[in-house]
Homo-oligomer: A and B are copies of this chain.
Amino acid sequence: MSSQFILVNLKAYKEGMGPRAHMIARAAEEVSEESGIQIGVAPSFFDLHPLSKHFEIPVFAQHLDGVVPGAFTGHVTAAAVRQTGAVGTLINHSERRLTLAEIEASVRAATEAGLVTVICSNNDMTSAAAAALSPTYVAIEPPELIGSGVSVAKADPGIIQRSVAAVHAVNPKVKVLTGAGIQSGECVKIARDLGTDGVLLASSVVKVEDPAIVLRDLVSLL
């Protein structure tokens, strides 16, 4: 059985909120059971608790603030995320960039709360830096692939390979996700063959009418 991990970021897409979030989580659970491939979802803060309660798949926050409970307004603590039943969190997504000090504090707080951590990075150098913070995963989002519709299969695969090498040179225990340019089962297979431990993707699952069809395709070549 493959140990690849497929993580679907529901972002703030209207097609990924409320009932649609449930529908996508249900599809992920079905395809995960069929295939034996682990599939997780990262919904809005408000869907963390309902999805964690209703489904067996791993549910991730899209962000958290690495602060200890206290005088912080509009912040999301690791403890509060854990309380929802979520099991992990994205950190430093390209749409929610953090300072280095904040990333480190977030990884630390999330880890202490028992959460799996996925730091997003943009190239091999920042991937190596992220690895030094000992997250569970680093997800490489090459800017030239983000939301471009360009498949990682067609783009220069060098950045993924260099990032995997850079991450492992710093910390061989840190796993790597391919974080952009994933649209099909072929992309997922290529990502695996480039040495990564799974993929982080969004619109190609969230914005389609029937996410189960796409999810089945994504796991089809593993």
| Residues of A that sit less than 8 Å from B by CB | 9, 11-14, 17-18, 42, 44-46, 48-49, 61-63, 65, 67, 69-77, 79-80, 83-84, 90, 92-101, 103-104, 108, 121-123, 125-126, 128-134, 147, 166, 170, 202-203
Contact = CB atoms under 8 A, between A and B. Distances in A.
A46 B51 CA distance: 13
A17 to B, nearest CB: 6
13 contacts: A14-B69, A18-B83, A72-B95, A74-B90, A100-B121, A101-B121, A101-B122, A104-B122, A108-B125, A125-B132, A125-B133, A128-B170, A132-B132
Contact of A92 (B100, B125, B130, B133): B100
A11 B70 contact: yes
Please tell me how many copies of the chain the complex holds: 4
B95 A97 contact: no
Nearest to A14: B69
A152 B179 CA distance: 40
Nearest to A102: B97
A52 to B, nearest CB: 11
Contacts of A13: 69-71
A80 B46 contact: yes
Contacts of A63: 73-74
A123 B98 CA distance: 17
A45 B76 contact: yes
A100 B132 CA distance: 12
A75 B82 CA distance: 18
B73 A12 contact: yes
| Most B-side CB within 10 Å, residue of A14, A42, A49, A84 | A14
A121 to B, nearest CB: 7
A132 B122 contact: no
Nearest to A61: B74
A133 B126 CA distance: 7
A80 B129 contact: no
B122 A129 contact: no
A9 B46 contact: no
